């Protein structure tokens, strides 16, 4: 059974360009026991221009901390920081739901330089 699908209003290309989505490499991942739902705390390196940023993600169904380290991921890097429990999340790591609604990370399918912007 398919869940209700929400389709956003149309936006302009200029609106799209305001969202800065970059590729980063996870350099640290660990359990986040203080989170309300199972999650990991992560540090993601976006290269010298942006640096290493902190975040958390509810991705425990498909990933372990060990397999996350070194993984390339896509993230929004220009949202304001947001307090998630004791962690100040600096980026939004992107994913899509699987058939059960669990998060699957968006990742480049080739090895690309970190810091590259989505276009």
Residue 117 per-residue DSSP state = B
Position 4 scores a pLDDT of 66
Average pLDDT on 93-102 reads: 96
Pairing, β 40-45 against β 52-57: antiparallel
Q: Catalogue the E-assigned strands of 1-119.
A: 21-31, 40-45, 52-57, 72-76, 82-84, 87-89, 92-93, 95-97, 103-105
pLDDT, tens digit, 9 for 90 and up, residues 24-46: 999 999 999 999 899 999 999 99
User: Would you say residue 107 has pLDDT above 70?
Assistant: yes
Cα–Cα–Cα angle for 96, 98, 101, rounded to 5 degrees: 90
* pTM of the complete model: 0.91
Rg of the chain's alpha carbons, rounded to an integer?
A: 15
């Amino acid at each position: 059974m398919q869940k209700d699908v929400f389709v956003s209003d149309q936006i302009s290309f200029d609106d799209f360009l305001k969202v800065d989505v970059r590729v980063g490499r996870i350099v640290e991942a660990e359990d986040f026991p203080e989170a309300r739902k199972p999650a990991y705390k992560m540090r993601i390196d976006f290269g010298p221009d942006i640096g290493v940023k902190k975040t958390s993600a509810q991705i425990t169904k498909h990933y372990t901390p060990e397999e996350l380290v070194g993984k390339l991921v896509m993230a929004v890097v220009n949202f304001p920081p947001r307090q998630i429990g004791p962690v100040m999340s600096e980026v939004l790591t992107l994913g899509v739901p699987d058939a059960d609604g669990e998060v699957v990370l968006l990742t480049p399918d080739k090895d690309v330089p970190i810091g590259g912007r989505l276009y």
